[in-house]
Structures are given as structure tokens and as C-alpha cells.
Chains A and B, each alone.
Chain A
Amino acid sequence: MQMSSDDFSIRVSNLSKSYKIYSAPRDRLKQFVISIIEKLFKRPVKNYFREFHALKDISFEIKRGETVGIIGRNGAGKSTLLQIICGTLSPSQGEVLVNGKVAALLELGSGFNPEFTGRENIYLNGALHGLSHSQLDTRFNEILIFSEIGEFIDQPVKTYSSGMMVRLAFSVIAHIDADILIIDEALAVGDIFFQQKCMAYLRAFQDEGNTVVFVSHDTSAVLGLCSKALLLTGHAGKHYFRSAKEVCAQYIEGLYEERVTNSALIDPKVQNNKVIKLEEISAIRVKSQLTIGSVPVDNLIRVSSFMSEAKGFGASGAKILDAWIEDGFGKRIAEIQGGTTANFCILVKAFKDIKYPAYGLILKDRLGQFLIAEGTDLTFRNQSISLLANDSAKVSFKFAMPILFEGEYTIDLAVAEGIGHDHIQQHWMSDVMVFTSLNSRLAHGILGFQNLQISIENLRTSN
């Protein structure tokens, strides 16, 4: 253990949690009765249970301002650990110290009373976190707006969808002045817009110097948000607390190692680390067989229509009216294959003269990270594309649709005035379209290569 200092948020020392498992209910009774009798006669007490260690000898310290991801397989003890940190579950051994006000989102709809309305639950949860009624009165509107629950706020929470529930829960814990946020995989339930909103909130929360602890199976989310990560590996008691990058790499490695050892794929004879050059193999090649396959296009991406009610900001000198993807014949399409040509069109109307207009298109993933950001700024720097007041412009971006990993992506559009970094945003619209990538060939990553051709040459060594 490091020496104590005061700038920590959470300190866990030698923490263990074990459960007594009885194979039959009557063993529990036997244990109870017989142990009393054996103690009475000063005989050694016999145990009728097996001990299951959910956590064994865990120690780590989270500094103030750090964001830490906790990853691990199902059953590795992630949720148990969070519950112990929050104080809802008591450890078998070891201790936890917390420095600051904790707000936790332990599970979907945690702490909500399903019979109560959303409004009542906000007050109830706020009171649990030490806020007075009048403090909650002043924050109520902010919470309501953040949650996007709208008029359903006066309906019982049991009638909410899981998405509404998590929106409400997150909105509450976001508004109670916590120093430490603890979030347990719950966010995955919200839709992409809410996830991005939560991520934006979490980033702002981090920037204020607060602490976030975040449980996820999703290493990309951990890498995107966290500086450090804790990997739990189950009851063996091994745990690693290092930089997020190292820990995520180790986690993924662990997943594969397990699969590989399970299927015993590796021929033990090949397991030496000698470097063999291609020429060496070619020289002794007897027969080779060349197989070339172009990767079948199988990445269907659904394209939503333009959402004119999406949030926007800017100086309002111009407005984005519409956006769509069209095929080669100028027809709007709602589906496109990854890798094929997309013609992405934006319709913009100017309300004043814009001398150096710049149009931009951003593709974001579900964490709100920019994957691709393209603009007209550089391309058209030397040409006059000035837009006069009340004129409209149709801007088309023609590109090969990227191959996307399965999931949802959103589009931001922007029209600005100026050159280079000296921009005035006239209209920036966030999340105006959603791309949903179905049946992607990608098993990992975010993007795939376009026009990918793979050739495989089997080389046979002569003995």
C-alpha cells in the first residue's frame, strides 16, 4: 500500500468478500444448531458450507480527479466491489474509505420506488443524497429537462421504459453535487442520444476535478473515458490497477488466451519464437496455392431521415434545412452498403451574406467521439463560393461509405463563416441523422478498410 495522503477519493485495503454456500437448506440449520452444541462442548466446529470468494484481497487507491474503469468478465466481482464501495454490501474483511460525496447508479432504476411517480422519486432520491426540499425545488426543472421525461414525470415509475428509467436515474445523480460518481453498466440502456449526453456530462464532471468510477464490459468506452482501470479476474483474487490502456490490453488478451487454451488450437511444435523469413520458406517451397478473395460487401447501414428538431447552436446567419443521402440517380435512400458510394447532400439557406462559407460533416460513435470530420474549408479555399442572403446552397459530399462496426452512429452538420481556425459557427446541428450499422463483418474496431482484398498463400515446407 502507498502511504496515506489526503488527495484520494476512494481507498480500498485488503478487501475480501465471501459468501457461505450451503448445498441444501437444512445444512444452514445444521450449521447453526451443531456449531452451538460443539462450542458448548469445546469441540472444533465443523463447517457444512463451502466458502465462495467473490473478492479476495483487493487493494487500490483512486486519487481525486481520476476516472477509473473497472472491467472484468461476468462474475468477476465488479458489481460486488461497487456495492461495497457504496456501502450497501458489507465486506467480509478489509476496509473502504471514501473521501467525498458519492452518487451511485448501481443498477437500472436503482433506488426508485416503482409505485411512486417520477417527481416523487426525484425528491426521494434527492433527500437520500442529503438535499433539502427547497434545494430540490430549484433543481427540479434542470433534472426534468436533462432526463427528457417530459409529461410522464407524474406517472408512476413502474410504467416507464427501461430507457426512461435510466435517464431519470442519471439525471438525478447528475444534479446532487456529488464528488464521486459510481456508474455500473447502466448507461448502455439509454439510446445513442442520451448516451452521448451522459458522456458529455461525465467529461465536464471530470474537468471539474471530480472522480468517476465506471464499470463496463466495453473496453472502448473505458479507453475513451478513463485514465486508469482496474481489472478483476474472478475469485483467484488477482487484480490489476494500472493505466487504462495496459489494463484493457490485458483484458482482451485474457479473453483470447482463454479461448485459445480451451480450443487447443496451437500446435506445440510451432511455439518457438524463431524468426523465419519469407525467403527461407519460399526457398524450400514445394507447392503453393494462391487464393484471392475480395471481401464481400455485407455491411448494411440504415440511414435515418433528417431530424429538423435536433439541437443546434450558432449565429443564425444560415440554417441547415435538410440533409440526405442519394444514390447515383439522385434518389434519396434509407439504406446503404458500407463501401459503396454515398452522396451525402446538405441543403443550407443563408439569411445574410456569407463571404467564406464552410460546410462540415462529422460522423460520431455512440460515445460522442468524432470518427470522421470532413469540411469544405480546405478544398474550396481559393474559390469564391460566397452565399448571398436568402440564397440556398446544396452541398454534396461524395465518398465511399465507411465500413462500420455494428451499432449506432450519429451525424453532426455545420455551416460556418471564415477560413481556417477563424470560424464563426452559423449553424451547428448535433445528431441530425443516425446511421445504424447492421450485420457488420467487423468483430472489433470501429472502421474497416474499404476495397479490402485479402490474399492467402499457403506455403508448404518440404521435409
Chain B
Amino acid sequence: MSKFFDPHKAQPTSLLALASSLGRNRQLIFQMTKREVVGRYKGSAFGLAWSFLNPILMLIIYTFVFSVVFKARWGEGSTDSKTQFAILVFVGMIVQALFSEVVNRAPSLILSNTNYVKKVVFPLEILPIISMAAALFHALISIFVLLIAFILFNGYLSWTVIFIPLIFLPYVILVLGFSWILASLGVFMRDVGQTIGIFTTAMMFMSPVFYPVSALPAKYQIWMLLNPLTFIIEQFRSVIVAGQLPDWSGLGIYYLIALMFMWVGYVWFQGTRKGFADVL
């Protein structure tokens, strides 16, 4: 290896390079994620407690709206308790919220940090990771609240909840891939930032957040599975509510696709970042 440094050498695109960048910048990622999480509630009286209060309040609202106002029932012929509906919706909302938080912010990640593009040599590839880590922090707290609520409502908790991290991981990997692509596209096409909110809102209704996949006519159910959120939400529900083991083969395929997608996103980002400084 040459001891000289060429500042314009092509950015590495292998997954190994990604791992080494993660290791090298772990301090930076940790600091900036902390900043991001704490910074969100800065100046508010409750501070970090909001990250707990938010999901609790949301859960109370769902419970009230769906069990008292709508008297909704989950699917055909189910004899669920009033609170079960709220739990099921909350699971969907946690998965969907992570997606929309990361994806909504992705197109503006580079745009709002022009300093890091033009004035210092910054490992730009970690910006989507930081935004993901912050969103993940909030998701984990929501999951924690969810588990507590489940115990309070039902008096038990299935041991299968230990698979939650295993189900969440490929989802995080996949959404990261999205984030890299959108972060780069957002720089070159400002329209992406304008339309992304519509896209994530549509995704909320196109995903089985407020209904189970089984509520759809059978011929549409297969299409629904093309939505990357569907499988994760369904698996999540099955380990927590039904106490079933994950669908291992399905999860395996999901891992493969997620990794491939993340790699594509990373390669795209690394390939296009050279042009960022020219258009910002």
C-alpha cells in the first residue's frame, strides 16, 4: 500500500470497507447519534422523558380510539379483547414509524449538512447510519413500552419475544439501503425531498398497520408481501402476540434481499458522492 494519500481516489464500495468505516468512525457515530437523540428534546421541560411519553401517549390514544370509539375487531371472527387491537396496531406503527422517520429525512441529510461536504473531509456515508441509529433508539423505547403494556393487559409475555432483534435487524439493513439511495438522490434532484412525505404516508396505508394481511382478498395478499414492511410487521406480531416462532425460511430470504439492497444503496452512494460538492 502506498503511504501517499490521494484525496480523490474512488470511494470504496465493498461491504468490508463499510464495516471498517463503521469501526473507524464509531466514536463519531456515537457522539452524533447522542446529539441527535438528546437534541430533539432540547429545551423542553421533560427532556429525554419525551421519548418514553410519546409512545405511551400514542398507545393510550390507539387503545381509546380503536376499542371505545370504533369498537374495531381484528380480522374475521376474532374474539380479541379491547386492548388487543391497540397492541396489534402499535406493533405496526413501530415498524412503520422507523421507516418513515429514516426515509423522510434521508433526502435532506446531505443537503442540510453542506458544511460536511464542502468544508471538511467528512465520512458522509455515516450520516444515514446516524439518522438510522437515532430512529432505532426511539423504536427500541417504543418496543419496551409495548412489552410492558402487553404484560399489563394480558398478564403474560411469550418467550418468543427474544426473536424481536432477529426480526428487526434485516429490516434495519434494508431501510439503510433506502436511506443511502435517497440521501444521494436528494442532492441531485430536489424534488425527491418534496415527494418523499407522500410516499411514506402512502406506505402507511399500504402496509398492514391498521389491518392484518389476512383481511385482504387472497389474490392481493401476495402483492402485499412485495412491500418490505409487511413481512416484518406480520412476523413481529406473530412472536409477540401469538407466541409463535419466526418463519425461518422467510426470514432467511429477507436477510439476503436486505443485504443485497443495502449493498446496492451503499455502492450507489459511494459512487455518486464525488459529485455532491459540485451541485451544493
Complex: how many Å from CA A110 to CA B8?
A: 20
Q: Mark B1-27, 1 if CB is under 8 A from A, else 0.
A: 001111110000000000000000101
The stretch of B56-64, B103-111, B117-125, B166-174 that contacts the partner chain: B117-125
Contact A113 B7 (CB under 8 A): no
Complex: how many Å from CA A280 to CA B42?
A: 84
Residues of A close to B25: CB separation below 8 A: 127
Contact A90 B4 (CB under 8 A): no
Complex: how many Å from CA A89 to CA B7?
A: 9
Complex: how many Å from CA A133 to CA B35?
A: 15
Contact B277 A90 (CB under 8 A): yes
| Other-chain contact of A132, B8, B27, B118, B120 (Cβ < 8 Å) | B27
Contact A98 B5 (CB under 8 A): yes
Q: B28 at interface (Cβ–Cβ under 8 A)?
A: yes
Complex: how many Å from CA A120 to CA B119?
A: 18
Q: A264 at interface (Cβ–Cβ under 8 A)?
A: no
Contact B121 A127 (CB under 8 A): no
Q: A160 at interface (Cβ–Cβ under 8 A)?
A: no
Contact B31 A88 (CB under 8 A): no
Complex: how many Å from CA A88 to CA B124?
A: 11
Complex: how many Å from CA A87 to CA B116?
A: 12
Contact A19 B27 (CB under 8 A): no
Q: B115 at interface (Cβ–Cβ under 8 A)?
A: yes
Smallest CB separation, A143 vs chain B (Å): 16
Contact B115 A112 (CB under 8 A): yes
Complex: how many Å from CA A107 to CA B116?
A: 12
Residues of B close to A322: CB separation below 8 A: none
Instruction: Please give the number of chain A residues whose Cβ is less than 8 angstroms from any Cβ of chain B in the complex.
Output: 34
Q: A91 at interface (Cβ–Cβ under 8 A)?
A: yes
Contact A116 B274 (CB under 8 A): no
Which residues 117-174 in A have Cβ within 8 Å of B in the complex? 120, 123-125, 127-128, 132-133
Instruction: Please give the number of chain B residues whose Cβ is less than 8 angstroms from any Cβ of chain A in the complex.
Output: 25
Known contacts: A87-B121, A128-B121. The answer to whether A111 contacts B4 by CB under 8 A is no
Which residues 99-141 in B have Cβ within 8 Å of A in the complex? 115-122
| Other-chain contact of A89, B6, B35, B122, B278 (Cβ < 8 Å) | B278
Complex: how many Å from CA A111 to CA B119?
A: 6
Q: B32 at interface (Cβ–Cβ under 8 A)?
A: yes
Residues of B close to A90: CB separation below 8 A: 8, 274-275, 277-278
Complex: how many Å from CA A377 to CA B206?
A: 90
Complex: how many Å from CA A400 to CA B278?
A: 56
Residues of B close to A85: CB separation below 8 A: 7
Smallest CB separation, A448 vs chain B (Å): 40
Complex: how many Å from CA A98 to CA B32?
A: 29
| Other-chain contact of A127, B28, B118, B119 (Cβ < 8 Å) | B28
Which 6 pairs of residues, A with B, have the shortest CB-CB distance?
Answer: A87-B7, A111-B120, A110-B119, A127-B28, A89-B277, A90-B274
A-B contact pairs, 27 of them (CB 8 A): A83-B277, A85-B7, A86-B121, A87-B121, A88-B118, A88-B119, A88-B120, A88-B277, A89-B118, A91-B8, A95-B6, A97-B6, A98-B4, A98-B6, A98-B7, A99-B4, A99-B5, A104-B120, A106-B120, A110-B115, A110-B120, A111-B115, A111-B119, A111-B122, A112-B115, A113-B115, A123-B31
**Residues of A with Cβ closer than 8 Å to B?**
19, 83-91, 95-100, 102, 104, 106-107, 110-113, 115-116, 120, 123-125, 127-128, 132-133
